[in-house]
Amino acid sequence: MNLESGARIDGPAPVMAVAADLAKRSLWLVPAAILIGGIGWGVDGVLSTLYALAIVVANFVLAAWLLAVTGRISTTLMAGAALAGFALRLCLIVAAVVLVRNVAWAELVPMAFTLIIAHLVLLFWEVRHIAGTPAFPGLKPEADLPNPYLPTDTSPDEPSASTSSPTVR
């Protein structure tokens, strides 16, 4: 893979796998959001915390999507999308909160706490599940699954590339 300025990144996008995993892990925060929002602010608190949690997940998925799409075009565009995308996503979060601030069910205190805490909790939780090595650029591999980012060697007598184990060149 050539990463000179303006080069494309071909192949699977590990960032989308990380975002999907993060979204899946966010489901574990739903009971905590319901409990804390319900105890402190009743039904309005529950709705506000769930809305904020949806904003957090949408923020992470949008960030991953921007990087995956722009990386296929050029690394320079991907860097620009990372920078401009951060500002764009912050504006979208503010717009999502401003949009509902005067709605009857919106409680700003639990919504704000959920936005801040859920971002941090999900980031630190997901860091434990990321490999962070060139051999495994996304999530840590499971023991029984081959690495989809490594090339595979197949000979004519082997059944297929999907059943052969990957080898490093």
Residue-wise pLDDT tens digits, 157-167: 555 555 544 44
3-state secondary structure of 163: coil
* Residue 154 within any structural domain of the chain: no
Q: Structural domain of residue 99, as residue ranges? A: 14-127
Locate tokens 């690394």: which residue? 75
pLDDT number for residue 5: 60
Residue 56 belongs to a domain: yes
Q: How many CB atoms lie within 10 A of CB 95?
A: 9
- 95 belongs to a structural domain: yes
Query: 130 phi and psi, to 5 degrees?
Result: -100, 135
pLDDT tens digits, one per residue of 121-135: 988 887 776 766 655
Task: Identify whether 149 is part of a domain.
Answer: no
Give the chain's domain count: 1
Side chain identity at 10, as an amino acid letter?
D
Q: Give the list of residues 6+ apart from residue 29 with CB closer than 8 angstroms, or none.
A: 53, 118, 121, 122
In a domain, 50, yes or no: yes
